[in-house]
Amino acid sequence: MFMKMPEVQKCLAHECAYNLSNICHALAITISGDPEPKCDTYCQSDQKGGDMSSSAKVGACKASHCTYNNCLECQASGIRVDYRNNQGICLTVEKKCFQTEKSTLVKETVDF
């Protein structure tokens, strides 16, 4: 199976060393797991980092509850990162469906 790394389409973590004008310039980021899908690559610094000629991709995702997570890899077409409580938060996370007693699929919503 061929997997493509999704692009970080927008990042609102302005304090991050990799962020310039809402674009993340790290080569790849890691999204942490439960309960909140945080950007583990977030780095607050006065020094700018990354490759300013490229935009970040999602290298790994540890959010096991997300429907886009497949073998610890993000399979979304792209992600958006917000900035809350001094950290980057993945806004693209979508909780997996589960079966209820009536065998219908229910999608949980995520509110961070």
List the one residue out of 59, 1, 63, 2 whose CA is nearest residue 26.
59
Residue-range domain boundaries for the chain? 7-107
* pLDDT (0 to 100) of residue 55: 96
* pLDDT (0 to 100) of residue 69: 93
Which pTM value belongs to this model? Answer: 0.81
pLDDT above 90 coverage of the chain, percent: 72
| DSSP β-ladder status, 23-24 and 97-99 | unpaired
Residues of the chain with pLDDT under 70: 1, 97-112
